[in-house]
Amino acid sequence: MAIIIDESTKTIVQGITGKNASLHTKFMLEYGTKIVGGVTPGKGGQQVEGVKVYDTVKECVSEHPDAVVSSVWVPPRFAKDAILEAIDAGIKTVVVITECIPIHDMLYVRQVAKQKNVVVIGGNTPGIISPGKALVGMLPKITFKQGRIGTVARSGAITYYLANSLNLAGFGESTSVGLGGDPILGANFEDIFRLFEQDPETDAVVMAGEIGGVYEELAAPYIKEMSKPVIAYITGKAAPEGKRLGHAGAIIEGNMGTAKSKIEALKTNGAIIAQTLSEIPILVKRAL
- Residue 125 CA to residue 143 CA, distance in Å, equals 17
Helix (H) or strand (E) holding 135: strand 134-137
Among residues 220, 174, 224, which one has the least CA distance to residue 199?
A: 174
Which of 24, 64, 104, 247 is labelled catalytic? 247
CB 123 within 8 A of CB 91: no
Pairing mode, strands 272-273 and 134-137: unpaired
> What residues contact residue 241 under an 8 Å CB cut-off, 6+ apart?
252, 253, 254
- Residue 115 CA to residue 233 CA, distance in Å, equals 32
- Residue 75 CA to residue 4 CA, distance in Å, equals 24
Residue 24 appears among annotated catalytic residues: no
Among all residues, which ones are annotated catalytic? Answer: 247
